[in-house]
Amino acid sequence: MRPSPDCRGTLLSGNVSINDHWCIAQSEMGVDTLFEKNLIVNTDDKFEICGRAGGKAHRYERNTLYFKQAPAEGWQESSYDGNAYNPEARNAADKNAKDADDKWLSIIGGAGNLDGKEELFGLSFKR
């Protein structure tokens, strides 16, 4: 994202990200960015929150963050509030953390593909 000089912030809400690999955000432009009410599932061993920066301008609120393990670079400089986590990757910095729904275990515990998982989302995936 390249903000205009008048940009005061960015909201990313209601997205589903499954095994996008490497990271949630590749960089940070210093613009306040709120990630809210997203589902982010990742089964990679070396997954990061922000790939090319510390993510200081990023806020994660009321998301479901379901990872195979804690992010490779830790939770970095982003702020977290009221997110749901699986037990293997719980974020101690999130003072209002919740437990994620067990239905995501079938993706985390498996090969990470979406075959037969459409019923979890009520969607059909392009293959």
Q: How far is CA 36 from CA 6, 23, 69, 93, in A?
A: 22, 17, 21, 17
Q: What is the pLDDT of residue 86?
A: 86
The answer as to whether 77 is a domain residue is yes
The pTM assigned to this predicted structure is: 0.79
Q: Which two tokens stand for residue 87?
A: 């037990």
Q: What is the pLDDT of residue 111?
A: 45
Answer whether 34's CB lies under 8 Å from 12's CB. yes
Q: Which two tokens stand for residue 15?
A: 């997205």
Task: Identify the residue whose tokens are 């974020």.
Answer: 91
| Structural domain count of the chain | 1
Q: What is the pLDDT of residue 85?
A: 93
pLDDT of the chain along its 127 residues, tens only?
556 677 788 899 999 888 877 888 888 888 899 999 999 988 777 888 998 888 999 999 999 998 888 898 899 999 999 999 988 889 999 999 999 887 766 665 554 555 555 555 555 555 5
The answer as to whether 55 is a domain residue is yes
What letter represents residue 38's amino acid? N
The answer as to whether 69 is a domain residue is yes
The answer as to whether 121 is a domain residue is no
Burial of 31: CB neighbours in 10 Å, binned 0-12, 13-18, 19+:
middle
